[in-house]
Amino acid sequence: MQADLMAIVEKRTKEMNNLRDAILQWSGEFVEFRDDTSGKHIEHVRKYMKILINAAKKEGPYIKEISEWDVNAVLLASALHDVGKIKIPDNILLKKGRLSPKEYEKMKNHCLYGKQLLESLGARLSGESFLEYAKSMAYYHHEKWDGTGYPEQLKGDKIPLEARMMALVDVYDAMVSVRPYKPACSHNQALKTIQKERGIHFDPVLVDLFVKSSDEVKKIEKG
């Protein structure tokens, strides 16, 4: 009897966790469908993050830090990195061509909006580790290694590691994807651009790991 009850509880818990994960994934996709013509940005970013995390587990200075992560929570949280875009007007988000300085400043607010939305979600939930990762990636994924990013102009390892990873994979996927304001570039072109930004936009260690994993990355990009 007790074993049957435990099995029922375990089944219901698994079902609720699956439902939660599906809703969060859908929430991220809902936002991305506004400016992602393929509808695969969330899926691709999660897979690139997994490749980068696995690579960083094997070599480099971040092995200890990543060993303490709940990797599944990080990957779940990655779906919400751009959730703040839901508050960006279509005339800015979907504009064909370069944004004006005023429009760009408004676009940059999506980082703050994302953090605020996730804090609001956190007020309704408790004990969800993915929310901390989600807030970090939403708020800091436009910071740059050299301190010239936004919204806080953080520099180097002051930027959370998960956000530094997101910065790299998000830019890669944006480059190899069609957007309302640009055509797609090739995998090799994107890698060259990322390597040029090594130590400027991106964490140099992560760039090296990403390039070493480029065959895996290319399979996903072509998939």
64 is catalytic: no
Q: Would you state the pLDDT for residue 39?
A: 61
Mean pLDDT by 10 residues, the chain (223 residues): 56 54 61 63 92 96 95 91 91 88 96 93 74 94 98 98 98 89 90 98 98 94 69
Pairwise CA distance, residues 67 & 212, whole Å: 21
Token pair listed for 131: 């929310």
131-136 LR contacts (CB < 8 Å, sep 24+): 131/77, 133/73, 133/74, 133/77, 133/78, 133/162, 134/77, 134/80, 134/81, 134/83, 136/160, 136/162, 136/163
Q: Would you state the pLDDT for residue 4?
A: 55
Q: Would you state the pLDDT for residue 181?
A: 75
Q: Would you state the pLDDT for residue 102?
A: 96
Q: Give me the catalytic one of 50, 85, 135, 144.
A: 85
Q: Would you state the pLDDT for residue 13?
A: 52
Contact 211, 204 (CB under 8 A): no
Q: Would you state the pLDDT for residue 106?
A: 96
Q: Would you state the pLDDT for residue 44?
A: 92
